[in-house]
Amino acid sequence: MESFRDRYQAGRRLADALSHLRGASDVWVVALPRGGVPVASEVAAALGAPLDVLVVRKLGAPGHEELAVGAIASGGVRIVNEELVRYLGIDAAELDRIAERETHELRRREALYRDQRAALDVAGRTVVLVDDGVATGATMLVAVEALKELGAKRLVVAVPVGAPDSMARLREAADEVVCLLAPPELTSVGQWYDDFSQTSDAEVRSLLQD
Q: What is the pLDDT of residue 33?
A: 94
Q: What is the pLDDT of residue 32?
A: 95
How is domain 56-114 classified at the architecture level of CATH? 2-Layer Sandwich (3.30)
DSSP string, 64-83: EEEEEEEEEETTTEEEE-HH
Average pLDDT over residues 42-63: 94
Q: Is residue 194 within 8 Å of residue 3, measured between CB atoms?
A: yes
Cβ-based neighbours of 193, under 8 Å, separated by 6 or more: 3, 4, 5, 6, 7, 10, 132
Q: What is the pLDDT of residue 156?
A: 98
Q: What is the pLDDT of residue 74?
A: 87
Looking at residue 116, its amino acid is Q
Domain with CATH 3.30.1310.20 in the chain: 56-114
CATH of domain 7-54+120-209: 3.40.50.2020
How many CB atoms sit inside 10 A of residue 207's CB? 23
Q: Is 200 exposed, middle or buried (0-12, 13-18, 19+ CB in 10 A)?
A: exposed
Ramachandran region, residue 146 (left: φ > 0; alpha: ψ -120 to 50; beta: rest): alpha
CA distances to 33, 91, 209 from 101, rounded to whole Å, are 19, 16, 28
How large a percentage of the chain has pLDDT more than 90?
75
Average pLDDT over residues 108-115: 88
Domain with CATH 3.40.50.2020 in the chain: 7-54+120-209
Q: What is the pLDDT of residue 49?
A: 95
Helix 201-209 and helix 36-47: axis angle, to 10°?
Answer: 10
How large a percentage of the chain has pLDDT more than 70?
100
CA distance 127 to 36: 14
pTM of the model: 0.90
CA distance 130 to 44: 10
Q: How confident is the model at residue 66 (pLDDT cuts 50, 70, 90)?
A: confident
CA distance 38 to 6: 9
How many CB atoms sit inside 10 A of residue 166's CB? 21
Provide the 3-class DSSP secondary structure of residue 115: coil
Looking at residue 98, its amino acid is I
Q: What is the pLDDT of residue 118?
A: 79
pLDDT tens string 161-206: 999 999 999 999 999 999 999 999 898 999 999 999 999 999 999 9
Q: What is the pLDDT of residue 117?
A: 80
- The mean predicted confidence, pLDDT, of the chain is 93
pLDDT tens string 2-48: 899 999 999 999 999 999 999 889 999 999 999 999 999 999 999 99
Ramachandran region, residue 76 (left: φ > 0; alpha: ψ -120 to 50; beta: rest): left
